[in-house]
Amino acid sequence: MTQHDRLLVIDFGSQVTQLIARRLRELNVYCEIHPFNKVDDAFLAAFQPKAVIFSGGPASVYTTGAPMPPKGVFDLGVPILGICYGQQVMMHCLGGHVEGGHGTAEFGRAFVTPTPDKLPLLDGWFAAGDEQVWMSHGDHVSKIAPGFQVYGTSPNAPFAITADPARHFYAVQFHPEVHHTPKGAKLYENFVRLAGFTGDWTMGAYREEAIAKIRAQVGSEKVVCGLSGGVDSSVAAVLIHEAIGDQLTCVFVDHGLLRLGEAEQVVSMFRDTYNIPLIHADESALFLGALEGVSDPEVKRKTIGRLFIQVFEKHAKSIGGAKFLAQGTLYPDVIESVSFSGGPSVTIKSHHNVGGLPEKMGMKLVEPLRELFKDEVRALGRELGLPASFIGRHPFPGPGLAIRCPGEITTEKLDILRRADAVYIDQIRKHGLYDEIWQAFAAILPMKTVGVMGDGRTYDYALALRAVTSVDGMTADYYPFTHGFLGETATRIINEVKGVNRVFYDCTSKPPGTIELE
Ligand code: XMP
């Protein structure tokens, strides 16, 4: 999207760098995050940023090998905003001084007091006195660089807000990107206004450009798209179809582990509403056969992943010579984050996707959502006219109900689970809670319990209900349903779904739990 004004975020490894990009995108500003060690002067010349932001980070500028920006960034003549470590690195590079220790660390809420001088970056700040900000620093600036002035102080950060207004260099010790800095969004708004951004990053514009880009990339070749029924692959498919029409074929693999009515919904939406050529590959017998007797979660995931690729490849071949594979990859998946710990992280679960497929099949990738965050994909979906109920759907994992059925999978258990899950989701919708919850589902537990119904003894399955709030699925908290809601839901499930006589609610957050049971 070279025609947009571009802002470059240089990442020094902060946990919250992605939030900077979120705040900027909300202002209709196009930005990209790149790790400090990948940004050199040649990169800057090619990228041509209209402004630059230095993120926070865990390092100390005075240690050897500390992460630094390229020298040339200060000669670009564009506004720069340094945040936390970004402030310290800016002072360090421009002739100031940074120190650690001496009890000057600050973590959490702090209040910044203004100095008498006015700074346009702070328009809208300090109207009602000191402003609350969120600090997280061990080191602090002890001497500001020549040309800089102080515009705000906090008890442990005498240089909480500093700037050299002539050069448009701004540096703050706190994190304006987090919600605990209530006026943080205003600070970003002021910064991009001062940098001359026009807010030209809109979904309408993105749609037009993405379509042109897909046409240029694909030409008259065929594209195949694996459709899961989730928001990302659906939006990608509709967008690509708008660009190249029937050169696109979608393959929807039904592994027999979908929710009640799900396959019908997906097929009717794509084939009937959108007229997109769709192969509905009903491969449930293959998948369920391979999963017979399998109870280990990782073996389940790997079996499903392997079969998915095999089936997808078979059907993709059947459409004859597709050169491109479309995927709903999002921006958070492609941001290369800076790791200071080094080494691979522990595998908690092997999330199933079509990794490795393009190389194996000798195909090129079409990924029209690579620059978007999840909520932007939803906005694009709305722009493309996808139904609101579809766009707001909770995420559903690739291995489907297999990982909501801990232990061995049987068709009996899947059938009970499908019906119970439908009642649970119906309850959530009826109570108007669906959009407040990030993800909700039922899981069938690998145990039977004794109950009494009417005058008889029952010996039936127990269910766990799960509902979480989350921003990105990386961490999550359980949803605090009222006891009334839980009681009513348990009663409905037991009355309406034969084979269940007990219902539990899962109150585990992530960590220590995970969202799915397996
Ligand atoms: P966990 O259980 O790891 O889940 O806390 C985090 C989010 O990822 C989804 N999930 C998956 N999605 N393939 C997917 O496409 C998978 O194998 C998979 N496993 C978990 C899960 O539903 C939640 O949204």
pLDDT of residue 282: 96
Please determine, for residue 487, whether its predicted confidence score (pLDDT) is greater than 90: yes
Using the mean position of ligand 1's atoms as its centre, give its distance from the Cα of residue 298 in Å: 13
- Residue ID of nearest Cα to ligand 1 atom 12: 397
Kindly give the number of the ligand 1 atom that is closest to the alpha carbon of 517.
2
Report for 68-77, 309-318, 321-330: range of highest mean pLDDT: 68-77
* φ, ψ at 427 (rounded to 5°): -60, -45
DSSP, collapsed to helix, strand or coil, labels residue 9 as strand
pLDDT of residue 182: 93
Kindly give the number of the ligand 1 atom that is closest to the alpha carbon of 350.
17
User: Does 234 show up as a binding residue in the annotation?
Assistant: yes
Query: Ligand 1 pocket, 514 CB below 6 A?
Result: yes
**Virtual torsion, Cα 180, 28, 121, 2, nearest 10 deg:** 130
Find the mean pLDDT for residues 59-69: 94
The answer to whether residues 112 and 153 touch, using CB atoms and an 8 Å cutoff, is: yes
pLDDT of residue 342: 41
Cβ-in-10-Å burial (0-12, 13-18, 19+) of 344 comes to exposed
DSSP, collapsed to helix, strand or coil, labels residue 234 as helix
Match 């049971």 to its residue by tokens: 517
Which segment of 81-85, 190-194, 262-266, 488-492 scores lowest on mean pLDDT? 262-266
Kindly give the number of the ligand 1 atom that is closest to the alpha carbon of 352.
17
Please determine, for residue 336, whether its predicted confidence score (pLDDT) is greater than 60: no
Find the mean pLDDT for residues 476-493: 97
Token readout for 351 is 């999330």
User: Does 339 show up as a binding residue in the annotation?
Assistant: no
Tell me which of 228, 257, 351 to substitute to probe ligand 1's pocket, judged by most ligand atoms within 8 Å of the beta carbon. 351
User: Average per-residue pLDDT in the chain?
Assistant: 92
* Close Cβ partners of 305 (under 8 Å, ≥ 6 residues apart): 350, 352, 353, 398, 399
- The percentage of residues in the chain with a pLDDT greater than 90, rounded to a whole number, is 74
Confidence of residue 337 (pLDDT cuts 50, 70, 90): low
Using the mean position of ligand 1's atoms as its centre, give its distance from the Cα of residue 287 in Å: 19
More confident residue, 101 or 409: 409
Query: Ligand 1 pocket, 351 CB below 6 A?
Result: yes
* Close Cβ partners of 151 (under 8 Å, ≥ 6 residues apart): 114, 115, 117, 119, 121, 122, 161, 162, 163
Tell me which of 516, 517, 518 to substitute to probe ligand 1's pocket, judged by most ligand atoms within 8 Å of the beta carbon. 516
Find the mean pLDDT for residues 142-165: 95
Helix or strand (DSSP H, E) at 149? strand 149-154
Query: Ligand 1 pocket, 38 CB below 6 A?
Result: no
Find the mean pLDDT for residues 345-363: 65
Catalytic residue (one of 92, 140, 175, 255): 175
User: Does 199 show up as a binding residue in the annotation?
Assistant: no
Query: Ligand 1 pocket, 510 CB below 6 A?
Result: yes
Distance of CA 192 to the CA centre of its chain: 24
Find the mean pLDDT for residues 72-91: 98
Cα–Cα separations (whole angstroms), residue 261 to 70, 369, 399, 421, 431: 55, 27, 17, 12, 21
Using the mean position of ligand 1's atoms as its centre, give its distance from the Cα of residue 400 in Å: 9
DSSP, collapsed to helix, strand or coil, labels residue 91 as helix
Query: Ligand 1 pocket, 349 CB below 6 A?
Result: yes
Confidence of residue 1 (pLDDT cuts 50, 70, 90): very low
Task: Report DSSP letters for 454-503, one per residue.
Answer: TTEEEEEEEEEEEEEE-SSSSSBEE----HHHHHHHHHHHHHHSTTEEEE
pLDDT of residue 346: 60
- The percentage of residues in the chain with a pLDDT greater than 70, rounded to a whole number, is 94
The answer to whether residues 184 and 176 touch, using CB atoms and an 8 Å cutoff, is: yes
- pLDDT tens for residues 385-440? 999 888 999 999 989 999 999 999 999 999 999 999 999 999 999 999 999 999 99
pLDDT of residue 483: 98
Please determine, for residue 212, whether its predicted confidence score (pLDDT) is greater than 90: yes
User: Does 220 show up as a binding residue in the annotation?
Assistant: no
Using the mean position of ligand 1's atoms as its centre, give its distance from the Cα of residue 493 in Å: 25
Please determine, for residue 469, whether its predicted confidence score (pLDDT) is greater than 60: yes
The answer to whether residues 253 and 279 touch, using CB atoms and an 8 Å cutoff, is: no
Catalytic residue (one of 84, 225, 250, 405): 84
CA torsion through residues 511, 513, 516, 518, sign? positive
Task: Report DSSP letters for 96-129, one per residue.
Answer: -EEE--TT--EEEEEEEEEPSS--GGGTT-STTS
Confidence of residue 335 (pLDDT cuts 50, 70, 90): low
Query: Ligand 1 pocket, 513 CB below 6 A?
Result: no
pLDDT of residue 344: 46
Which segment of 15-19, 42-46, 176-180, 423-427 scores lowest on mean pLDDT? 15-19
* φ, ψ at 339 (rounded to 5°): -105, 120
Using the mean position of ligand 1's atoms as its centre, give its distance from the Cα of residue 31 in Å: 28
User: Does 229 show up as a binding residue in the annotation?
Assistant: yes
pTM, two decimals, is 0.77
Query: Ligand 1 pocket, 439 CB below 6 A?
Result: yes
Which pairs with CB-CB distance under 8 Å and at least 24 residues apart come from 422-430? 422/259, 422/260, 422/261, 423/489, 423/492, 423/493, 423/496, 423/497, 424/465, 424/489, 424/493, 427/485, 427/488, 427/489, 427/492, 428/467
Using the mean position of ligand 1's atoms as its centre, give its distance from the Cα of residue 83 in Å: 32
Cβ-in-10-Å burial (0-12, 13-18, 19+) of 505 comes to middle
Tell me the C-alpha distance between 161 and 185, whole Å. Answer: 15
More confident residue, 305 or 41: 41
175 annotated active-site:
yes
Using the mean position of ligand 1's atoms as its centre, give its distance from the Cα of residue 310 in Å: 21
User: Does 230 show up as a binding residue in the annotation?
Assistant: yes
Tell me the C-alpha distance between 165 and 151, whole Å. Answer: 11
Closest C-alpha to 21, from 281, 239, 335, 276:
335
Find the mean pLDDT for residues 299-305: 94
177 annotated active-site:
yes
- pLDDT tens for residues 305-325? 899 989 988 988 888 889 999
Kindly give the number of the ligand 1 atom that is closest to the alpha carbon of 510.
5
- pLDDT tens for residues 277-296? 999 999 999 999 999 999 99
Query: Ligand 1 pocket, 305 CB below 6 A?
Result: no
Token readout for 472 is 């990105």
pLDDT of residue 273: 86
Whether the upstream peptide bond of residue 511 has omega within 30° of 0, thus cis, is yes
Please determine, for residue 349, whether its predicted confidence score (pLDDT) is greater than 90: no
